[in-house]
Structure 1
Amino acid sequence: MKSKPNPARLDAWDFRILSEIQSDGRISKSELAKRVHLSASACSERLRALEIAGIIEGFYARLSPVLIGGMVFVMVEVVLERHRLEDQRHFETAIGEFPEILDCWAIGGRIDYLMRVASPSMAAYQGFMEGLLQAGLGIDQYYSLVVTKPIKSNSPIPLSALRRR
């Protein structure tokens, strides 16, 4: 069995593969091999190793919220009542159960977490947040920042910057 790639040991071929699949996740393995100038078997082997190592976390389709019926996106700053490790773990585990929470990041500074929430309307968002407050997650305060217009999202990781380190 092959060992998992170490991120510090990714080579130029790995970066080429990662760059191509970030641009086009639906690319066929044969086309990917052509674009990165590797044989199909070598390219496929490297791709599999990158997946096994967890460097490639998955493939998905990006949907247009406008064309599927419109969505409201809200960035939510969350401050917990208590800052004990068990309180943080409880919150982090529990929010995984809410599909409306698209992303959640632990933040250093004046807030504890930053979440990106999707909702069909502001009224539905408010109802969701009221339910979240009643769910016993230890939320002390939250601040809502309504996304009025997406400017840039789901951008690929700038791999060229990593290669220069």
Structure 2
Amino acid sequence: MKLDSRDHTLLRLLQADSRMSNADLAEQVGMSASACWRRVRALEEAGIITHYGAVVDPKAAGLRFQAIVHVQLARHSEADLEAFIRAVSVRAEVVECYATTGQSDYQMRVLCRDIDAYNAFLEGFLFRLPAVASAQTNVVLREIKANRGVTP
């Protein structure tokens, strides 16, 4: 699907406020409500809009510890990789995980209540995964810019 300027505007507005009514969205984009609804539906069907949700402030939700964890695996067999990915995918503490190039195999952003909860995450979960060789933690001191949307 080729995106035009109206699509870009729709995406920007929906990323800023996914609860915006179709009528308000249509007015801001300069389209009829029915045309706007069809366009948003086309963006969803094309897989450009994958879901809608709320942005939660971690600190306000009681998650005051944030870290970037660099994980190196000892084994890279298909079974070990699948087991690692399955295990990490279901952990609430892991809010993002990326397979990367460089010294680490994976980069994870982890949120916990405090340092004790993070230590329990490491000792009770991460270090018990058979494929994990090591993990280096970088504690987030201050958030400078968080992803609040994509500009195609």
Partner of 2:81: 88
Q: What is the alpha-carbon distance in structure 2 between the residues aligned to residue 69 and residue 75 of structure 1? A: 18
Which of 135, 141, 144 is the matching residue for 2:134? Answer: 141
Which of 59, 63, 67 is the matching residue for 2:56? Answer: 63
Q: What is the alpha-carbon distance in structure 1 between the residues aligned to residue 85 and residue 63 of structure 2? A: 28
Q: What is the alpha-carbon distance in structure 2 between the residues aligned to residue 134 and residue 144 of structure 1? A: 13
**TM-score if structure 2 supplies the norm length?**
0.91
Following superposition of structure 1 onto structure 2, how do residues 72-111 of structure 1 map, counting pairs within 5 Å?
A: 72-111=65-104
Between the aligned residues of both structures, percent identity stands at 37
Structure 1: 5+ residue runs without aligned partners? Answer: 1-5, 160-165
**DSSP-derived class of the 1:110 partner:** coil
Q: What is the alpha-carbon distance in structure 2 between the residues aligned to residue 13 and residue 52 of structure 1? A: 17
Structure 2: 5+ residue runs without aligned partners? Answer: none
| Aligned residue pairs, count | 152
**TM-score if structure 1 supplies the norm length?**
0.84
Runs of 4+ in structure 1 deviating by more than 3 angstroms, as ranges, are: none
**Displacement, 1:47?**
0.6
Partner of 1:119: 112
Verify the 8 A CA contact 2:16 2:148 in the aligned structure 1: no
Tell me how large the CA RMSD over aligned residues is: 1.6
- Give the number of the structure with larger relative contact order, counting CA–CA contacts within 8 Å between residues 6 or more apart: 2
Report the CA distance shift for 1:112/1:101 in structure 2 as closer, same or farther (over 3 A).
Answer: same
Q: What is the alpha-carbon distance in structure 2 between the residues aligned to residue 32 and residue 135 of structure 1? A: 48
Q: What is the alpha-carbon distance in structure 2 between the residues aligned to residue 137 and residue 39 of structure 1? A: 56
